[in-house]
Structure 1
Amino acid sequence: MRLKDKVVLITGGASGIGLSTVERCLAEGARVALADMADSQGQARAAELDQRYAGRCAFIPVDVSSTEQVDRMVADTVQRFGRLDGVFNNAGIGGLSPAQDYTDEDFLRILDINLMGVFRVARASIKVMYAQGSGSVVNCASILGVFGQSNTAAYTAAKGGVVNMTRTLALEGAAKGVRVNSIGPGYIDTPLLSLLDAATKQFLIGLHPIGRLGRPEEVANAALFLLSDEASFITGANLLVDGGFTAGKS
């Protein structure tokens, strides 16, 4: 098993990419802290998985816009499982608006969760990992961290920040035994996209040369790889899981 006896913390773990990654890590032998908002389905999901995987999954409520809650989440994970080997820093929100229509408050909220939230989780986690002398942090960025798109000024600013912050954290952690990488998913077929009309969904499919949307488990597989010792010589990378979206236009 690729993560046997390792402890992994996954934020945004109650649904979509996060939940798929929780399930993949459990299947590969990890003990997993599933973290999400208190009013999410996280408690129920973790209870179900804890029964299936013999007491190896626990729910920890967190709002990543709160430094206090993030620090407590990491402390609770270590208290429950004894250490922290991996983090999938996945919590985030979307947002669409023409730049001229953004209020300061709306723009800053997206930055606070999608960029500062990622930093808060990484900061708390690497403190533990530095003390251990080992660990792997995987930050969830996006194709929109390397590629512009209309009506996404706040989101692209945040995700671009995640990609470059990841490089800096990787440089700082390298001598301390801690690897830091990011993942850039394309459009993934999660429940969120089920709200789109058929024409919009078909348009998004057409943006991917592979000819379909991604599946949550495909992003989970990439996160699993970067969390595992198989990626022991990889740090500061941004792994695009995008069906060819950013390769260019044919």
Structure 2
Amino acid sequence: MRNIDLHGKRAVVVGGATGIGRASAYALAQAGADVVTVSRREHTAAFAGPADVSARITHRALDISRHDDTVRLFDEIIAGGGFDIAVLSAAVIEPASAEDSDEAHWRRHMDVNVDGIFYCARESIRHMASEGRTGKVVIVGSVSGMVGNPGFAAYCASKGLWINLTRQLALDNAARGINVNSVLPGFTDTELTQIYDAETKAAIAAAVPARVWASPEQIADAVLFLSSPLADYVHGVNLPVDGGYLAAGPV
């Protein structure tokens, strides 16, 4: 199998300060790409590892729910040389059933998980198409877009939308050489999933065929594959990386 070599490529990772986005940014930089991470907050810690890898990563602050700010920042990144890879990993997850969801709760999920990610995908595709570039757009979804997750109505709804929109964006752009795919993480140990207490986390692990939660780095490996030339003929795939969770059926 060919090694993944992304030297000479530039990437944007939205939601790149923490969790899966952060791990994905580092994986892309390890493969040789120059990476711009984008998030509402600064990095929680410096990227560990070889200095030449960390030096390939720069950061820009952005709230992707603010449409005008998103367009402006993407314009600035494009003016600085553009990019070949877009990884869209920002997300909001807060527990609430439908009857307990007020308008603000619903709007937070839609503003970031749907509208914000759409703006970033749209601007990425516009850039690649206008420059005549081939490119990769990788959306980080969730297995909760495929099956329900009790008590997370807004989150599941937002992630479910991206299952089909990934397919649609792929159909619209495959002939241009722009690959649009998504990764569907299962239960992954990140800052977002600290909402679960230890007992619940153990019960969830017992229900996953692999019997463990994923690490962000394991999800980032799938992101790296879909961002690479190894995935040049992969279009419109929603790839579960879930320890067998979806294969097992309802648990």
TM-score normalised by length of structure 1? 0.92
1:91 is matched with which residue? 90
Q: Is the 8 A contact 2:93 2:192 kept in 1?
A: no
SS in structure 1 of the partner of residue 87 of structure 2: strand
Q: Counterpart of 1:26 in structure 2: which amino acid?
A: A
Bigger fraction of residues in helix: 1
Q: Counterpart of 1:92 in structure 2: which amino acid?
A: A
- Structure 2: distance between partners of 1:55 and 1:242: 31
Q: Is the 8 A contact 1:118 1:162 kept in 2?
A: no
Cα distance 1:139–1:54, how it changes in 2: closer, same or farther (>3 A)?
closer
1:139-168 Cα offsets, whole Å, 9 max, x none, are 111000111122111111100101111111
- Structure 2: distance between partners of 1:13 and 1:186: 19
SS in structure 1 of the partner of residue 92 of structure 2: coil
Query: Which of 16, 20, 29 is the matching residue for 2:19?
Result: 16
Check if 1:127 corresponds to 2:126.
yes
SS in structure 2 of the partner of residue 53 of structure 1: helix
1:247 is matched with which residue? 247
- Structure 2: distance between partners of 1:12 and 1:188: 15
SS in structure 1 of the partner of residue 38 of structure 2: strand
1:190 is matched with which residue? 190
Matches within 5 A, 1:1-250: 1-37=4-40, 39-41=41-43, 45=46, 51-53=51-53, 55-80=55-80, 82-133=81-132, 134-194=134-194, 196-249=196-249
Q: Counterpart of 1:206 in structure 2: which amino acid?
A: A
SS in structure 1 of the partner of residue 173 of structure 2: helix
**How much has 1:195 moved relative to structure 2?**
5.3
Percent identity between matched residues is 34
User: Cα RMSD over matched residues?
Assistant: 1.9
Q: Is the 8 A contact 2:29 2:54 kept in 1?
A: no
- Structure 2: distance between partners of 1:12 and 1:230: 24
- Structure 1: distance between partners of 2:17 and 2:52: 16
More deviation, 99-108/238-247: 99-108
Q: Is the 8 A contact 1:181 1:226 kept in 2?
A: yes
**How much has 1:67 moved relative to structure 2?**
1.2
SS in structure 2 of the partner of residue 3 of structure 1: coil
TM-score normalised by length of structure 2? 0.92
- Structure 2: distance between partners of 1:85 and 1:124: 12
More deviation, 71-80/141-150: 71-80
More deviation, 189-198/172-181: 189-198
Cα distance 1:71–1:51, how it changes in 2: closer, same or farther (>3 A)?
farther
- Structure 2: distance between partners of 1:51 and 1:74: 27
Q: Is the 8 A contact 1:50 1:56 kept in 2?
A: no
**How much has 1:72 moved relative to structure 2?**
2.1
Q: Is the 8 A contact 1:14 1:45 kept in 2?
A: no
**How much has 1:248 moved relative to structure 2?**
2.1
Aligned positions, number:
246
Q: Counterpart of 2:232 in structure 1: which amino acid?
A: S
Which ranges in structure 1 are unaligned for 5 or more consecutive residues?
A: none
Q: Counterpart of 1:231 in structure 2: which amino acid?
A: A
